[in-house]
Structures are given as C-alpha cells and as structure tokens.
Structure 1
Amino acid sequence: MNRLSSFVTFGTLGRALTLTNLCRLFALLMVAWQPFPGEYRVPLVGSALLGLALTWRGEWGAVAEPAKRLGLLLLCLLIPGLLSIPTSLAPSKSWGEIASVVLVGLAGLSVLYGLRHQQDHSWLQTGLVIVIAAWIGDGLLQALTGADVFGITPKAEGMINGPFTTNGIFGIIVAAMTPLVLWEPLKQRQRWAIALLSGIVITVTLSGQRNNLLLLGLGLIALSSLWSRRTRLIGLAILVATVVAVYPFAPTLQQRSNWMISSGSEMVASLQELRENPSDATSSKRLFNSLNRFTSDRAFLVDAGLKMIQDRPLTGVGINAFRPAYPLYAQLTPHGHRDKPTHAHNIYLELTAETGLIGLGGLLLAIALGWRWFALACHERQRMAAPYAATLLVMLFPLTTHTVLFAAFYFCLLIMVLGGFLAALFSPEAVIAAQIEPTPN
C-alpha cells in the first residue's frame, strides 16, 4: 500500500512537472528568486534552457506569433548593439552583452510558452501577489526590529532592503511590479488588495529612494484607470497621508529631500548670476555642483553620458561599455577623483551613450511597435495584456533612475513582463472568448 502511495505521489509530481508548468514556474522565479543565491541568473538561465528545449523539440510553434514579435523587438536592440562593436571601447564586454541578449530571447520564449492560456496568467499574477506580500512583511519586520527573517539588516540607516543583501533592488522591484500585482485584485474590488497596497506604499517609502516613489506613483496612476473619479480622490488622499505619516521614519529619504531643497535654491541663485554674466565660470561650476547635489551625484553621470554621445553620436562607445568608458569622459569630482559607476542611472541616456542614436531609435521603435500592437488588438486581448502594459509603462518611463536596460536584474524582470504582454496580446483564447461572448441587446 505504501509503495502504491509512493507511485501515486510520483505520478502526481510527474504530471505537475510538465514543460508548460516549468516554463510558468520559471517566469514567476524571475521575480521570486531575486533575493536568493544566484539572484536573477538562476531563473534566467533556467528559462533560457527551457527555451532551448522548446526550440529543439519544435514546440515553439505553439507560440509562433508572439515569438516572432518578441524576436522583432529584441532585434531592435540587438542590431544597434552589433553596430556598436567595431568602435566599442570594450569589445569583449560588448560581445558578452550580445550573448546575454540572445540568452534573454530564449528565456522570453519560455515565458511565452508558459503563459499560453488565460489560467496561466492568473496563476502568475497570484504567485506575484504571494511573493510581494511576503517581501512586504519581511521588510516591515526589518523596519521594526532591525533585521528580517533571514537576519539581514539594512545597509543604510532607515533604508530597508527586505530579504535582499544589497540596497535599492527591493524597493525598485516592489514599486515596478505594483500594477501587475494589484491590477486584477483591485479590478475585482478585493478588500485585501487595499491592505497590500498600503503595505507597498509604506515599504517603498521606507526603502528611502526617490526613484522608488516615482515608480510607485506611476504605477498608481496606471491603476487609477480602474477607479471612478471619487475613488481616485480618496485614494490620492490616503496615499499622501500614508507617505506623510511614514516620512519621519525614513531618514535616508529625509536627507535626500533636504538636499533637493537646499540645492534647488542654490541652482536658482546660480542661474540668476549666469543670466547676468553668462561667461562667469564660477557661477557655472556652482550650478553644476548644486545640480549634482540635487540628483545625488548623478550630474557627473549625465555629463559623461552626454560627452560620449557627442563624441560618438551614431554608434556610441559600445554596448555594455559605459562603465569602462566613464573615466575617459568624466570630469573630476570636488574631491579630485573620478567616480566608478556601474551604469548611467537612466535607461535612455545609457543606451544612447553605448549604442548611439541608432540604439535610441531602435528602443523607441520597439516601444512604438508594442503600443501599436496593443492599440490594434481586440478588447479581450487588451484586457488580458493591460496589467503587463501598465507595468512596462512604469519600467520604461524615461525619468527613472537606478535602472539599466541591459544586464542585471532589470532585464530579467523586463523580459518576464514583456513575455506576458505578448502572450496575452496574441492569445488565441482571447479571440475565442470575444467571439462567444453574447452581444448586449
């Protein structure tokens, strides 16, 4: 009898570990596994292997239409990257990035296959609710006790990072994923969704970064399309009240806000001096320093990025070459040295600096194609794709910082959301549902 039970158990497990379920699981892990060893690399490589298996077995034909669209969008990024290699300042890094884009393409194929059916999207979004809720609880515990359930402590005073060992990623992911996590629950008027939204607002505020609040604000604007005007006003009032109440417990955010206030007045004074005397080098330098303080040392990055674009406007300094190229273009800091940034802290600036105006044009073309496909889709497909579209809007907003399109955790998140968007937008189930839906009298 025990052996029979064991066979039943293994049989159930075997049925659960279908290719579809594995692809769907790894799509969720692109978010859920980020705090753990291997971070984004584990689910990304796992999804790429699944995508390779799909290609080998010829299974990709089940998602041929969205796969072709995904390939077209990735080509908009890949071709400018290839064109940048002959003049790249770091050819080995550039070739490595090209390989990673191909890897991401295979991973995207796995996401498409795992989200072929409407119930797959529901499963993924429910999984994301559970993951984000768990992270929020972990972050609140860290804020109250100084350590999370894994014993991880904040890396900066009052700047919680939840289960992550590095700063910033926690708040970025929670804020960016808000539309995808809350779209359906809020649409269905689930009461617990309000509690989850409150937890998101609190933890994102405590994460201490202005960029995260911007991402969250964009997500809430997208979500507000589900509400009536009265509900929007009530929601705005609650949001402002929550941020104001939590603000005194976020010293890092307070510090950066004070920098903005003090440096803002300095910028106004410097601009007035330059208006009176345009050739005054001292005022010009003071304006740059105050702008740099206002943006938490981002002015050096912007200045270097613009110089790269000016120097190599068409093809840039090479895909994934911003970091090695930076010392050649960056001006000295007030301390007499050059910082060593990992990236430009802006998707569009870095992409243009690395792959030139051709690369920027490729990204803008990819965005335009995505929104055109959404606009031309039937109502049922738009309904399924809307949560992903709102999340892409947040992730690709041009004024956000701390993010980079290629490499690291952000590209992994982006391919998961983009895969869900295309899978929903070209779902044959949606067309069938729209055809059998009774027409109103």
Structure 2
Amino acid sequence: MKDKLRLPWPKRAALRQACTLPNLCRLFALLLVAWQPFPGEYRVPLVGSALLGLAISLRGELPAVAEPARRLGILLLCLVIPGLLSIPTSLAPSKSWGEIASVALAALAGISVLYGLRTRADHQWLQTGLVVVLAAWIGDGLLQAITGADVFGITPKAEGMINGPFSTNGIFGIILAVLTPLVLWEPLRQRQRWAIALTGGLVVTVILSGQRNNLLLLVLGLIALSTLWNKRTRLIGAATLIAAVLAIYPLAPTLQQRVGWMSTSATDMASSLQRLQDNPADTDASKQLFDSLNRFSSNRGFLIDAGLKMIHDRPLTGVGINAFRPAYPLYAQLAPHQQRSKPQHAHNIYLEVTAETGLLGLAGLLLAIGLGWRWFLLATPERQALASPYGATLFVILFPLTTHTVLFAAFYFSLLLMVLGGYLSALFSPELALIANLRESSEA
C-alpha cells in the first residue's frame, strides 16, 4: 500500500527540486497577496514566511541577504522604538506588546521575502504571479458585478460595491488599487498589448468596488505609471480614465451616494466657515462645520476628532501602539448617539501612528520614508530600474491623504512587507550586484 502511495522517482525528484528554500520563500512572498481571500487570510503566508525566515537564520544562510536584511531592520526599528517608548504609558499595554511581537514576526517573514527575491528572475516570477492573481480577481469581481455572485458564491456586501473573492468589503478594491504600479510597470514599459486590457479591468473593478479611497489609490498608481509615458500618452490616458469613470459611475450607487455627501457637505462647510468668520463664537456654526466634515468623510470626522485629542493629550509618546481602539471612548467627547463606539482604527496612517506613538512615532515613520528614498537615489541606474515598480507601489501605500488604511492593519502590513522586501532586495541584494559585475566583465 505504501509503495502505491509513493510518487514515481522522477516526480519525487522534480518535487524535491521545486521545494527548495529559495522557491518556497518566493512562493510565500506571492501568497502574502494571493492567499488573502482564503481561510487564514494573511496569517497563513505571514506565519509560513516567518518560519522560513527562521529556517534561513538557523541554517546559517542569513549572509546571503545580510545587507538588505540590515536595511529592513533599520526601517522596522524606526517603527518599533517609538512603539516600545509608548508602552510605559499605554492605555492597553497587552495590545501594545502584542503589536511589537507581530512586528518581530514580520521581521522574520521579511528575511524570507528577501531570500526569495535575490535575482532579477525572482522579481520577474513574483511580478508575473501577481499579474495572474490580480487578473483572476478582476475576472471574479466582474462576474460578481454581472451575475450577483462570484465563482465561490460570494455576493456583494452592499449595493453596487463588489468585493470579489473576499467575504468583507473594502479589502478587494484596496489591494487591486495599491498593487497597480507593481503589476503594470513592466508590461506597460515593454508595451505589452494585454497590459492595456488589464489596466481597463483594474479601472472598472476598482470603480465598482464603490469606495472613493480606492479610486484615489488607483489614480495615484496611474500617476506613478505615467512616468513611463510621453506627454501625448499621458493626455490620452487621463482622458480615457475620466471617460471610464463617467461611464461606470452610474453603475456604482454607493459611490454616487458618497460623492453626493461630499457635494452637499462642501456647501455646508463653506456656509459654516463664513458664519464663523463673521462670529467666531458661534457654537452652532462650529457644530455645523464638524457635522459637515463628518458627512464629507463618511463618519470619519469622529475618528479625526478623537485622534487629534489623543495627540494633544499625549504629544510625545501617544496612547500606546495598537491602543487607538481601546483609547477611543476616552477621547470621543461627542453625543453618545453620534459616537462610533468600536472603531477599528483611525482610517489614516499618519493620524494613527501619531495618536498611538506620538510625535516620536511620526518622526520615526518619516525617517524610514526618507531613508528609503535616499537609498534609492544612491543606487546604480540598473538597481533603480529594478526597484522602481516597488518604489511606485510604496508611494501609493504610504500616501498621506488616504482615508481607509493604517500601517499596522494586518492585511495592509502584509502587502507593505512584500513590497518593501522587493524594494530592498532590488537595491541591495548581493547576487544582483554579482550578476551585474559578470555582465560587465563579459562585455569588456
């Protein structure tokens, strides 16, 4: 019986060859995105990557990624040190320690990503894999928009807001929009015709996801991609995008509703500001201004108000890393029927980082961004070319005006980890430098 269950020798050899440590690391880097709709979501690939990172360390293979791993450690320390400093005064110490532990887990997972992306071929494999995954998601989302259910039987959670293979709203559109530069950079640069169709699918699907934040992320990604085009192509692309939005907008009722809120709220805000200019002590005008801002941001005004109060109360170290949610009721000094009693997060990366870890945390995040940009500027043109798709994606991920995402949100941090790993590997992988040196020697 055991002999029947055994694979034939050639198949076993092929399987053994496929399951090498570099191949597994590269596969789990892709799964940080691809597995998100399935049971276990981000946890499965994150824990798997962390175990692979631990194996790399125990096997003494860390020197193979020593330099990019050191740079990753520096960037994570920029986030962790302010988090540690916030714990003594944290309003939820256990949650704060848990967040520190999750960042340590992410550091191990980051080693795995770096190890799996040491050559140009590794980067090409990952980017091709992302094209396949996102193309499948786009097809699934469009099927859901047309028939009311996707291939897994998942239906939209709100009218006019498709969520593809995800059981919750929001994540689907965010991931598609955020990864637009990474997925399309090389195909568009090489003028692949199918990339135009994929771009169109991304635009349609993100609009039908029904969130203004997703549309902003998509526009940012397309702006980053426009650096590959000449002026004429940029104008054509901008006109095509505007036409697509106008054509698909009637099919997205939730998006229409939210844009309507923005229009009426902007008018009310202008009226309130005029009244306050005439009479700064007008409390009704102040309340109307806040209510208008709240409608404009889909009830995010409550979160902004509470976050700013946290910063004012504890400007240096904040209320504690990962403590925004338990701290919120203490700072949301609004009428009980208006409060969002259980917010998940502040819906903005920079507001949440500053509220939780204070000005030290904000300084750490800005320092990490500055270091990443400086390393790019100091790199060789060949390395810059390889790192550019990742850098453009990081620009979208960390854009300060997005209103839905936060840095340590589990699914979002997994995306950041994969993209950051690719970016640092492109800039600092020793094997890429060796290949470049060999190419120069052969040409000489």
Shorter-chain TM range is over 0.9
> Are the equivalent residues in 1 in contact too, given 2:64–2:430 (CA < 8 A)?
no
> Contact 1:331/1:338 (CA < 8 Å) preserved in 2?
no
- Post-superposition Cα deviations, 1:400-438, rounded to whole Å, max 9, x if no partner, equal 121111141000110000000000011334435555459
Task: Find 2:419's aligned residue among 414, 417, 424.
Answer: 417
User: Helix, strand or coil: the match of 1:335?
Assistant: helix
Distance 1:100 1:5 in 2: 39
1:93 and 2:95 matched: yes
Tell me, in whole angstroms, the C-alpha distance in 1 between the residues paired with 2:442 and 2:277.
65
Distance change >3 Å, CA 4–CA 209, structure 1 → 2:
closer
**Per the alignment, in what secondary structure is the counterpart of residue 14 of structure 1?**
helix
CA distance in 1, matches of 2:175, 2:122: 21
Q: Counterpart of 2:174?
A: 172
Separation in 2 of the partners of 1:434 and 1:112?
18
**How far did residue 331 of structure 1 move?**
2.6
- 1:254 — aligned with what? 256
Measure the CA separation in 1 of the matches of 2:343 and 2:246.
32
Q: 1:74 to 1:337 in 2, by over 3 A?
A: closer
Partner of 1:189: 191
Q: Secondary structure at the match of 1:148?
A: coil
Cα displacement (A) at 1:340: 1.5
1:10 aligns with 2:12: yes
Measured against aligned partners, the alpha-carbon deviations of 1:320-349 in whole angstroms (never above 9, x if no partner) come to 000000000013257354431000000000
Deviation at 1:378, TM superposition (A): 0.2
Do residues 126 (structure 1) and 95 (structure 2) align?
A: no
Give the conservation status (yes or no) of the 8 Å contact 1:345–1:404: yes
Residue in 1 aligned with 2:377? 375
1:206 counterpart letter in structure 2: L
**Corresponding residue number in structure 1 for 2:246:** 244
Residue aligning to 2:293: 291
Change (3 A) 1:425 1:130: same
1:252 partner letter: T
| SS of residue matched to 2:337 | coil
The corresponding residue for 2:208 is 206
Aligned pairs, how many? Answer: 440
Deviates more, 1:426-435 or 1:312-321: 426-435
Q: Are 2:65 and 2:430, in contact at CA under 8 Å, matched by a contact in 1?
A: no
Residues 22/273 of structure 1: CA separation in 2 closer, same or farther (3 Å cut): same
> What are the superposed Cα offsets for residues 363-386 of structure 1, whole Å, 9 maximum, x if unpaired?
000000000000000000001100
What is the Cα deviation at residue 192 of structure 1? 0.2
Which of 398, 403, 407 is the aligned partner of 1:401?
Answer: 403
> Of 111, 114, 126, which aligns to 2:113?
111
> What's 1:23 paired with?
25
Runs (5+) with no aligned partner, structure 2: none
In structure 1, the residue corresponding to 2:110 is in which secondary structure?
helix
User: 1:378 touches 1:431 (CA, 8 Å); kept in 2?
Assistant: no
Q: TM-score with structure 2 length normalisation?
A: 0.97
Q: Which moved more, 1:422-431 or 1:257-266?
A: 422-431
Question: Which runs of at least 4 in structure 1 moved beyond 4 Å after TM superposition?
Answer: 2-5, 432-435, 437-440
Gaps of 5+ in 1: none
Q: Is the 8 A contact 1:97 1:407 kept in 2?
A: no
2:225 maps to which of 223, 226, 240: 223
Q: Output the aligned Cα RMSD.
A: 1.7
The 1-side partners of 2:60 and 2:347 are apart by 40
- Letter of the aligned partner of 1:100 in structure 2? S
Q: Is the 8 A contact 1:45 1:107 kept in 2?
A: yes
> What letter is aligned with 1:215?
L
Name the CA distance, whole Å, in 1 between partners of 2:418 and 2:361: 22
Identify the match of residue 54 of structure 1 among 33, 53, 56.
56
Which residue in 2 is equivalent to 1:149? 151
Instruction: Tell me the equivalent position of 1:73.
Output: 75
How far apart, CA to CA, are the structure 2 residues paired with 1:123 and 1:358?
39
Percent identity at matched positions?
75
TM-superposed CA distance for 1:147, in Å, is 0.3
Q: Deviations over 1:254-311 (max 9, x none)?
A: 0000000001100000000000000000000000000000000011100100000000
Shift of 1:5: 7.4
Letter in 1 for 2:398: L
Q: Is the 8 A contact 2:387 2:427 kept in 1?
A: yes
Choose which of 256, 264, 267 in structure 2 pairs with 1:265: 267
Q: CA deviation at 1:198?
A: 0.2
3-state SS, counterpart of residue 390 of structure 1: helix
Match of 1:427 in 2: 429
- Counterpart contact for 2:29–2:49, Cα < 8 Å: yes
